[in-house]
Amino acid sequence: MRHKPVMVVLAITLTVGMVLATQTVASAGRSSRGSSISATGTISCTGASGNVRLSPGWKTNSNTLPGPSKAVFNVSFNGCSDTTGNITTKVFSGRLTGIINFKTNDCSTNFGGPVTLYAGPRVPIYWNRDARVGRVIPAATNLAFVTVTLTFTAGVGVKFTFTHLSVTGSFSAKTVSGELDSSLDGCSPIVGVRNIPIAAGALSQP
């Protein structure tokens, strides 16, 4: 009868050990949405792809009845690297996902130079599982979009640029700049542009 407590203690020890091991593996595999460990250093990404969905769509004749427009970003940055920081993987990727609010859906205004946006929450870049600080995916990098510049060149497409956005979370020691490139060939006066496909881009901390 005296051996039973020892067996119980061993069982409890094994159970606790299994739980701790499971938690360690889980923390290594979850997305940066649940991470509290921030990446440090300077981020640079050399590619981008995805789309920006517009609601309502942008039109060339919207100056007669303009209205606010919501731009939903779903863009992956790839070919990312970190210098002088704590990231332990050489190349990784992340996804910019969130909403910025334009004051009008008129193409002439939005493609006419720097555009001041309605204030809104920061837009996160969630880092994918190929980004690691040791065994843990780093926390998101949260960008404060205040202004963006959109330019349209016939036969070339549309380019989004943003410069020196303030950052919280990972890589927050410096501001973030970047661009997103699309082959979109202008706006429609009737149906309107509802989706801007992104085929290239870059992200840096100058």
Polymer length of the chain? 206
Residues contacting 46, CB < 8 A, separation 6+:
78, 79, 80, 202
- pTM higher than the cut 0.85: no
**What are φ and ψ of residue 110, in 5° steps?**
-70, -30
Q: Quick one: DSSP state of residue 84?
A: S
Name the amino acid, one letter, at 64: T
CA distance 95 to 126: 5
What are the sequence ranges of the domains in the chain? 1-30, 32-204
pLDDT by residue for the chain (206 residues), tens only, comes to 444 443 333 233 333 333 333 333 333 445 577 788 999 999 999 999 999 999 998 988 655 556 899 999 999 999 999 988 999 999 999 999 999 999 999 888 898 889 999 989 999 999 999 999 999 999 999 999 999 999 988 888 999 999 999 999 999 999 999 999 999 877 766 667 899 999 999 999 98
Report CA-CA distances (Å) from 4 to 7, 11, 12, 132, 173.
5, 11, 12, 44, 57
Cα of 96 vs its chain's centroid, Å: 2
Among 97, 123, 98, 106, which Cα is nearest to 69's?
Answer: 106
Beta-carbon neighbour count of residue 155 at 10 Å? Answer: 7
Contacts of 43 (CB under 8 A, 6+ apart): 80, 81, 82, 141, 170, 171, 176, 203, 204, 205
The structure tokens 């890589």 sit at 171
pLDDT digits (tens, 9 = 90+) for 182-206: 998 777 666 678 999 999 999 999 8
